[in-house]
Structure 1
């Protein structure tokens, strides 16, 4: 009927005509006016600023039928007449249209719905920017976390995409001063974490910008689920804690309060102060003995270097390992090792691995041996940051193979092979830990290459450390060889970042006046976009 002028009558279920609204209202048949065809929707969106009628009232509308990017609406509207109060139609069960695709969802388009089961928050990336949250029936994980790359992983990804939808905020405004959900508004100490569950009792099923959405008629009800975790407890005497942490581009300008914007990371001195405060809080609460760090500014070894400044701010007597022959590479970022000098000490000179993929793709690894200061087991740590999955500049075998491993999988696998070979050429009897951001999920080729070389994670599969487009997965590792496996006391992830809304981080972009201050606290939450991993090793008996 597109292009036809029609007159319809129904009940206004959700009025979104305000200054920041969607530019119209949803009109749905009452029970007495509905047809008997269960395959067709009983509602339509009316695109108008006409002030007649409102939520809970019957309206008669004359307008032109239009399909606007998949949404059936009346536009332009010639006349709106208020016909008096009416009882809202009861919400239909959203689950009857699940998964939301094709005619299955079309039959409820524009209608009032509710969910029989709580829905799980899987992504909050656009929460503060556009007011949207991605929901699913259950948590979703990167397919190559549990499935080998190839058809099975791709099939799972396709299936996941059909079992999700957006929770919108019935507003057409960017960067709102108040961010919902949660019902009382997002703040530094009132978050909306991925993994939390929401009860959706009353909303309109909408379709905009190529995605099915819920426009809430009443605030979603927050239910228990995935609350902020406490930091790992203290270690016992003789047990030492290693932490792998991607710092989310630690750049400090010139190290003297200016030199901003930087190539990456903080754009201003104020952003740097906010980032620094969060990272210091996170690291201090982990009570680590040794840090395996990635995304650190590659700015030399002077006192004004970003890492030197961070280390000075940490609780305890912290030192950092200066790169040995071969240096930290030429990338804008490098890996680093820092340690509590009152608890452990370095043994011998540091080593690096250069050539091959480490010349221009993966960051140059840094290898150092350590021993507890009062005696104990000698051990070795290799800090790494393999090439990212972004496709910029990818050519030949580094292009995405369509198996779920993303771009530069070949470079990451070559990095794993060369690293394992370098480590096996010396100190074979010394317990060795490979740590850092490997940019590879658990079942992907680079991780399997390291496993074949004798390195493993004590927990299978390891807890997620990163979240991308609603799917959680592990990119950050502390993998230990067979010589050290018996010394593992504990292994885990402190989930302080990947599940938190990005609006809580140090950045000041997109914040309206006053919001950045309300959402910020100098605590560990959203100190980076990766979660830190910890491995406790028993090095003294």
Structure 2
């Protein structure tokens, strides 16, 4: 054809084009299934192609995905179940909209696992078209969803939100068929990301839940979403759904009410990991510290949330973990938190606190209970090297209702940082540093056996699941989790979308007979981290708009409480 730069090549029935597009709608074009091919990568990568199809989702725009999804026209898909009939078109060109039949020309590329066509400066609109029916999905997903890449899909039934960790940073949440509980796990086929049709980080507005995330309108893990429908997409090494309509919460996990006050003649004891409460130098300066708040403004937000959570527990005694280990003076973190709680509160002075940056603590209502004698601490291996120094204190009810000893603990975490040899993950479900936590339980058990009297509660963040060795060691000594805390609702933490229990209150046999109630108050583990006190990773105005001084996401652990009716001595 004289005067043109068109080069046509037939390669197995596939039309490849030169720089000039034979741009009349209906001219010969490459089927989208041929662009995708039957493998992980397109067999046409690097070639220019002419394609036609219907736009199913438009992600163009300054904050969008950089293009649109093109799927074969209804009735034009091939019959091969191993190939996708859709592709992502990366383009800055305008023209065309969802539901329109268009023709484009571009070069086929593999972009970090996503097959796409990098199109030119023109999108030719050919007319209106109906949208292809979405393919129905269910869990488990296909082992290799490549044959559905770029195609319209939907879940027939509501699906469960199991992880909101990246909602604030990337606008995504993890979905699964149900809400798994340890020791169950989520394989890649058991989960999928629900995205927000954008590439930008820290978006100003978070569309989930509808009409948008707010301090009083959360998207909690365990919630059910429907409809879940959109285009199956692959980006950043994960399969995800780019929604063509926004899902709404249709049930599941509502925020729980504040616990009822304990009955008369009943003592409430709670355990609460504070997620690193550090207060700088105690005079409004000294930030950032080793952990926790990075500024006085963040500290104020953190302090308000923690005080709201502790007050909401209506507890008489609260064992806390991850308190800054900066002494017991008026400028210490312990004194700061007590002041925020009010004049009725006080804290126990530990005998020893170890050299770790964090320690455990005991807060109590001085108008309800009083300490009996001095506190006791266990400052020997492994508590002076890995686990934090335990703190024990006996309390007496002021109304004459009896006494009990409370022992607060924080065992070595399951993190694998610097783990070597036997401390590395042995793939037995107990995580890294399992021998350290088991030895912590044995040394603690021996120490408790030497302390006088009965009526002892062992509580804290043991960083162990109920089936792990440390819990078995303590159970052998009589310290067992009461039934009110052992049901399916007894989880206190979430990790990678799976609920688990790390926080415990374990009464000895004499106290177990006096348990009259208790629960886990689910104010943190199910809440999106973006609702916490931190100010980083927020665009202008979002941190203020999302913040609430209430207890929600005051930490990453849920507080646990137990009610006991003590007899008079």
Q: After TM superposition, give the deviation of residue 69 of structure 1 in Å.
A: 2.3
Question: What is the alpha-carbon distance in structure 2 between the residues aligned to residue 481 and residue 77 of structure 1?
Answer: 73
Residue 73 (structure 1) aligns with:
116
In the TM superposition, what whole-angstrom CA distance separates every residue of 1:359-392 from its partner, at most 9, and x where no partner exists? Answer: 1100000011112112233211110001111112
Deviations 1:472-495 (A, max 9, x none): 111111111112110001121100
Once residues 499 and 171 of structure 1 are traced to their aligned partners in structure 2, the CA distance between those partners, rounded to angstroms, is: 24
Task: Name the structure 2 match of 1:446.
Answer: 470
Match of 2:325 among 298, 313, 319: 298
Corresponding pairs, count = 522
Match of 1:17 in 2: 60
- Pair 210,101 (structure 1): closer, same or farther in 2 beyond 3 Å: farther
Q: Distance in 2 between matches of 1:369 and 1:444?
A: 28
The 1-side partners of 2:382 and 2:469 are apart by 15
User: Is contact 1:46–1:77 with CA below 8 Å preserved after alignment?
Assistant: no
2:237 paired with 1:197: no
Kindly report which structure 2 residues correspond to 1:50-449, keeping only aligned pairs within 5 A, or say none. 50-75=93-118, 77=120, 80-95=123-138, 98-103=139-144, 105-143=145-183, 156-157=184-185, 160-315=187-342, 317-324=344-351, 327-427=352-452, 429-449=453-473
Give distance in 2, aligned partners of 1:358 and 1:13.
59
Shift of 1:457: 1.0
Distance 2:323 2:267 in 1: 23
Shift of the alpha carbon at 1:101?
Answer: 4.1
**RMSD (Å) for aligned C-alpha atoms:** 1.5
Query: Whole-Å Cα distance in 1 between the matches of residues 256 and 394 of structure 2?
Result: 32
Shift of 1:261: 1.0
Return the offset for 1:42.
Answer: 1.4
CA distance in 2, matches of 1:187, 1:400: 39
Give, in whole Å, the separation in 2 of the partners of 1:171 and 1:362.
43
CA distance 1:162–1:449, change in 2 (3 Å)? farther
**SS of match in other structure, 1:113:** strand
Shift of 1:175: 0.7
Q: Does 2:44 correspond to 1:2?
A: yes
Matched residue of 2:123: which SS? strand
Q: Is the 8 A contact 2:193 2:241 kept in 1?
A: yes
1:157-188 CA-to-partner distances (Å, cap 9, x unmatched) read 3x544210000011010111111211211111
d(CA) in 1 for partners of 2:343 and 2:267? 15
**2:400 match: secondary structure:** coil
Q: Could you say which residue in structure 2 is the equivalent of 1:532?
A: 559
Deviation at 1:83, TM superposition (A): 0.7
238-247 or 52-61, which deviates more: 52-61
Question: d(CA) in 1 for partners of 2:228 and 2:215?
Answer: 27
**1:34 corresponds to which of 62, 77, 87:** 77
Would you say the 8 A contact 1:13–1:56 is kept in 2? Answer: yes
2:515 equivalent in structure 1: 488
Return the TM-score normalized by structure 1: 0.94
Q: Measure the CA separation in 2 of the matches of 1:68 and 1:531.
A: 41
Report which structure shows greater RCO (CA 8 Å, sep ≥6). Answer: 1
Alignment-derived partner of residue 456 in structure 1: 480
Q: Is the 8 A contact 1:432 1:480 kept in 2?
A: yes
Contact 2:94 2:122 in 1 (8 A): no
Report the alpha carbon displacement of residue 77 of structure 1 after superposing the two structures with TM.
Answer: 4.7
Over alpha carbons, which structure has the higher Rg?
2
Q: What is the match of residue 151 of structure 1? A: none
Q: Is the 8 A contact 1:121 1:133 kept in 2?
A: yes
Which stretch of structure 1 is more off in the superposition, 392-401 or 510-519?
A: 392-401
2:382 match: secondary structure: helix
CA distance in 1, matches of 2:530, 2:80: 45
Residue pair 1:133, 1:166 contacting (<8 A) in 2 also = yes
Residues in 2 aligned to 1:274 and 1:530: alpha-carbon distance in whole angstroms: 17
Distance 1:396 1:36 in 2: 54
Separation in 2, partners of 1:317, 1:102: 58
Instruction: Assess if the C-alpha contact under 8 Å between 1:27 and 1:46 holds in 2.
Output: yes
CA distance in 2 between partners of 1:414 and 1:491 (Å):
29
When the two structures are superposed, what TM-score results if normalisation uses the length of structure 2? 0.89
- Answer whether contact 1:109 1:205 (CA < 8 A) is retained: yes
For the 8 Å contact 1:197–1:222, the answer to whether it is kept is yes
Structure 2: any 5+ residue segments left out of the alignment? 1-42
**1:17 to partner: Cα distance:** 1.5
Partners of 1:233 and 1:479 in 2: how far apart?
Answer: 21
1:279-314 deviations in Å (ceiling 9; x for gaps): 111111111100100000111111111111111221
Q: CA deviation at 1:79?
A: 5.6
* Partner in structure 1 of residue 91 of structure 2: 48
Alpha-carbon deviation of 1:92?
Answer: 1.6
CA contact 2:229–2:241 (8 Å) conserved in 1: no
User: How far is the alpha carbon of 1:394 from its aligned partner?
Assistant: 1.8
- Higher mean Cα deviation, 455-464 or 27-36? 455-464
